[in-house]
Amino acid sequence: MNLPFELSLALRYLRPKRTFVSVITLISIIGVTLGVAVLIIVMSVMSGFDLLLRERLLNFNYHIKVFAESRVMNDYSEVRDKLLENEAVQGVAPFVIGPVLIETQPNEGLPQIDTPFIRGVDIELEQTVSSLVSSNSVVQGEMDLSGGLLVGSEIRSRLNLKIGDYLAVHSARSFHRIRESQETGGETVLLPDDYEVRGVIDVDFFEYNSKFMLTSLENAQDLYDLGDAVHGLGVRLKDASLAEATRQQLLKVLPTGLVVRTWEDENSYLLEALVVERNVMFYLLFFVMIVAAFGITSSQITFVVQRTPEIGTLKALGANGGQIMRIFLFQSLLVAILGLLFGFGFGLLALEFRNEFLILMRDITGLEIFPASIYGFQALPAEIVISDLVKIGVGSFFICILAGLLPAWNASRLRPVEAFRHE
């Protein structure tokens, strides 16, 4: 196979030699490799965070939440029937949710205090709207909410709880009654409600495991002195992407005084932060790629200076400026291709063994690089997005070619007389 003489010369010039230029060229390839690999790793991890977070939010949050402006919904059964009439709605369940103060009751030592959220649910109905009360989420004990609690695994660890332990739960009702007593001049003793720890839930999401407890709807209604009322209704849709469109439909048919919010509304700050963070990381790392491309410019400039006599010989033999320019552009092209191939290979390999690497670094340094308490995930997620790979590949390729354009253009403008003088 006969190659164009420009490409043949470019390949011959790139053959490894123990010269300063060869070292610079090797450094250029390594720079492109590392730049591409880091871009792939970071963007895939960011995409993994985004995807997994959305899955968590959709699994354990309601797609749509309906509640009264007064935050107390009395006639919720009628509203529930109205919601179920919508074709996009898969299930509807009542809920009571709010903060509580809990106190352990150890046989020895001082009690521990925590302030989680308690969520009161109807188990049968809740199973139609979220995965929070599925059998897979209960890792200890049993799914029994009557007179008891299911606590998050992180709460269990933090308070050193065991199945069968009792927690004293101070609710808003208790503090409200104390305030009323003070206003009337009476004396009231703060008596908490005692609840048995019936089970432990682990939903593989640190935010829930560390902040939430579950109880029955009736228990929660009693804690908040709601009677038969609830705080709101949770709605699950057949397609979560239709949340905003369904919200607009529901606003037209529901009674006035009700607020309808989608899961995106409830978590807008988090979703927007992820998008901004992902975009910022992409552009910052692309600047790193640009810096790496300067290595190509440096190596090509040095190479042109070193090959100036040969350029003069080629021009004297009849080579035109375009042919000389293509020789050096082909060199930049080959460096770009090698850097991209090695970068994609290294990046994808690193993604495959990312968690093993983090475990190794933790064992060596004793530091948790991605602590679950901050990022909310037990393992580092990653999602390879083809469009991101295409952007990284095409963008990096053109940056490398542009980096070699100026040296190639300067080489094409050399005149034979000036080139021979350089010898």
The pLDDT, as a whole number, for residue 365 is: 76
User: Do residues 195 and 215 share a domain?
Assistant: yes
User: Do residues 258 and 308 share a domain?
Assistant: no
- Assessment of whether the complete model's pTM goes beyond 0.75: no
| Boundary (domain end) residue, out of 262, 285, 316 | 262
Contact indicator for 167, 158 with CB cutoff of 8 Å: no
Which secondary structure element, helix H or strand E, spans residue 196, and what is its range? strand 193-201
User: Do residues 88 and 197 share a domain?
Assistant: yes
Question: Alpha helix (H) ranges present in 353-371?
Answer: 354-365
| Boundary (domain end) residue, out of 216, 240, 262 | 262
User: Do residues 49 and 97 share a domain?
Assistant: no
Contact indicator for 218, 193 with CB cutoff of 8 Å: no
Which secondary structure element, helix H or strand E, spans residue 104, and what is its range? strand 101-104
User: Do residues 150 and 84 share a domain?
Assistant: yes
User: Do residues 85 and 225 share a domain?
Assistant: yes
End-to-end CA distance of the chain: 34
The pLDDT, as a whole number, for residue 141 is: 85
* Residue 367, both tokens: 């530091």
- Short-list 234, 250, 225, CA closest to 122: 234
Domain count for the chain: 2
The pLDDT, as a whole number, for residue 145 is: 82
User: Do residues 93 and 224 share a domain?
Assistant: yes
User: Do residues 278 and 399 share a domain?
Assistant: yes
User: Do residues 150 and 81 share a domain?
Assistant: yes
Contact indicator for 312, 422 with CB cutoff of 8 Å: yes
As a whole number of angstroms, the distance between CA 392 and CA 281 comes to 13
- Residue found under tokens 């001049």: 185
Helix (H, G, I), strand (E, B) or coil at 117: strand
User: Do residues 239 and 369 share a domain?
Assistant: no
User: Do residues 236 and 290 share a domain?
Assistant: no
Q: Are strands 148-152 and 193-201 parallel, antiparallel or unpaired?
A: parallel
pLDDT by 10s per residue, the chain, length 423: 455 655 665 556 555 555 555 677 777 788 888 888 888 888 888 888 888 878 877 877 889 999 888 888 888 888 999 999 999 999 999 999 988 888 888 877 788 889 899 999 998 898 889 888 877 788 888 888 877 899 998 899 899 999 999 998 887 666 666 666 666 665 555 667 788 999 998 887 777 888 889 999 999 998 888 888 999 999 999 998 899 999 999 988 888 889 999 988 887 777 777 777 777 777 777 777 777 677 677 766 766 666 666 666 666 666 676 777 777 777 778 888 888 899 999 999 988 888 888 778 777 877 766 666 556 566 778 888 898 889 888 888 888 888 777 777 776 666 655 555 545
User: Do residues 323 and 391 share a domain?
Assistant: yes
- Residue found under tokens 């709880």: 161
Domain span at residue 414? 5-54+271-421
Contact indicator for 152, 212 with CB cutoff of 8 Å: yes
Give the list of residues 6+ apart from residue 78 with CB closer than 8 angstroms, or none.
none
* Residue 302, both tokens: 């040095």
| Boundary (domain end) residue, out of 204, 237, 262 | 262
